[in-house]
A and B are shown apart, each in its own frame.
Chain A
Amino acid sequence: MHKTLDDINALKARWMTGSGNEKACPQEWEGLDELSLLALAGQFSRIATRPVSPGDLQVRPDIPSLPLPTMPPELRPQFRRILSGKLTSPEQVVSLITARGYCVNPIDWMPKRSDVDLPRVYDSWRDWLDGNTVDAAHDVLSAETWDSFPAHSRYSELTVMHGAHSDAARGLIVKVAPSLPAEQRLRMLECLRSGLSEADKPLLETFSGDRSSKVQAFVKLQLARLGHNAVSDREASAELTDFIELQRAGMLSRRKVVRARKLKNDAQRKRRKAVLGRMSLQGISDMLDLDANDIVEMWDFGGATDEIAEVIATSGTDDQVDRFAERLVEHDTTVSQSFIDRISPAQQRVLGLRVMMKDDWRLAQTMPWFTDPDGSVPLPQADKCDALTELIALAVQTEKPAQEQAVAAALNFLGLIAAREAAASLVERLTAAGVMTVDHRLTLLRLNAAL
């Protein structure tokens, strides 16, 4: 056969240039015309030859199985449809599915190397994408195995270790972190965030003078969460009396309030912002001879609320932040996203629901409150919530394509935050109002209800 193939190659070489050895052809084919030779040569090559594989073929190991069951196959088409719709980030849908106790099928979705806000359960897939998998020999995280442990899994493991054996986790950080680059140092310290306790304070303090400003800021925030406020700037403290005052209020002047003094111009307001930016919550309370909690409770929402919210966000404890957020909602005051980000996820959901229930608020104002949607919010009955009533009315109207996108985004948002029963009930209301069951805008809500 090799001889035949050689002859055919000689034929092809002749046809390539149109001239050459006229005799070159397999012996059995001699006497045939050119077209017959072409037909035979082409067919012979197709049947008798096969592409030669390169010697350097790399086969990846199997994708690691995850500790959660894969989502039911009948729901996979809906999940794929949601991803192709591009209205919702894949991370958020994946988080919802994970919160309901399932993992996605790797055929439908795999994490990207750039994804950051993913449930930890997918770390092993991210490591697999990087070409690393957990080796049985390295399955115990320690200072010795840190470098050989897959990059994403090691931080998940450290977080778990911090929850179960916090001393061991702190010991590991002390040993390993100083020799790591700033980004990895920060990521290591971030593992302390969940389950932060007073026992972590000494460790955090050793990093308070870190050469990385990001690490410093993180440490400062964690210490503030523990109630160890940073010291305020002395000059700023002295100047603060020009801007903040303790007053008595109410009919009988029995109630004490902390309020911002009335200012005359923008220059003064700018200065107040700068001064408050250099203060901590403890610094302000010391200056007014009050407890830090008093500032949170006595703040009068007349002015400089954004600035004081920023002070509380950067130097208040978790309880102080949550309480101030509650008061903000009570006073119908809008607040910056950076402050909302600091509120604990549980409190975000409680307050977000309250915001949704307000008579004259729209759903768009509710959305920022749910930074970590997990499909657990028991939505109010649609007829008892103006925002939902309005949304249902808009969803039925098809003659206004301009608002189509906004309605779809709002329905997707609800699909992410709603508890299973709430999602099912909302789908029922929407379809009863005239939205078609197969409407693509309901896909996420329907997936939520089915999970």
Chain B
Amino acid sequence: MSWILLVEQALNGLQFGVMLFLMAAGLTLIFGVMGLINLAHGSLYMVGAFAAAAVAAATGSFVLALIASLAAAALAGVLIEATIIRRLYDRDHLDQVLATFALILIFSEGTRWAFGSFPLFLDRPEALSGTVSLPFGIEYSRYRLALIGVGLAVAAGLFWMIAKTRVGIRIRAGENDREMIAALGVDISRLYTLVFALGAALAGLAGALIGAIQSVQVGMGEPVLILAFVVIVIGGIGSVQGALVGAILVGLTDTLGGFLLPKAFALFLSPAAATSVGSSLASMSIYILMAGVLLVRPKGLFGGA
């Protein structure tokens, strides 16, 4: 049944989208509050995945592995924020790009030195293996379904935190006017460290969760980082809602494009040609989506005027 396959692909797209959101939320918050473009965000994702794989191998517990990924990524985030990133807030974007590019080189090679070039494997927890039966006879991976649930729960928690809590109010105030909230007695540098650690922890969590589907290896962070950039450009840099909408759009376009485009071209091309044209177009589809959005709204869907 083709439509069952379609629903499964749509769920895969949603799962990919919510994981992208975990990455994009941190990037967009860090940009919104501190005005920093952080290429090393993908390295924090990798740190989370490696920490999870190492702890899972030592203890066998997936929950401990997730906690380790959050802690390790947040710690790495605090460390680089306090030593390097802090000096970059007042610099122009070129300096930020280069310094964080340098950080990627250091993180990647450092990890390769510590763990070697071979990929590590992180097993899914026993309770979430196998498939689950959804209505209309759809069988779907239990783990991927759990990822959608976790992703949406984190998104809801993040929105609640930003809308309702004192920290969230300070973050929003920091986006609007840094000098003003500093004048009102908020310790701005602690707020910056906190936001950076929060973004880092979300990236690390995403790394651990995805690490159980794919392999854990050096360089795993950068493809996701670039997609997360596309997400926040589509959504509007600095907007968490925009990041959520953008992430789900990109997730669905990427997954459904790879599934539907070859089939669409098969209607009027030979099967071999349809597969090759369809799959090359599919791999470009999210960038075409991004170009389209920017043509209509140069500041993204949720960006300021």
- The answer to whether A and B interact is no
Partner-B contacts on A (CB < 8 A): none
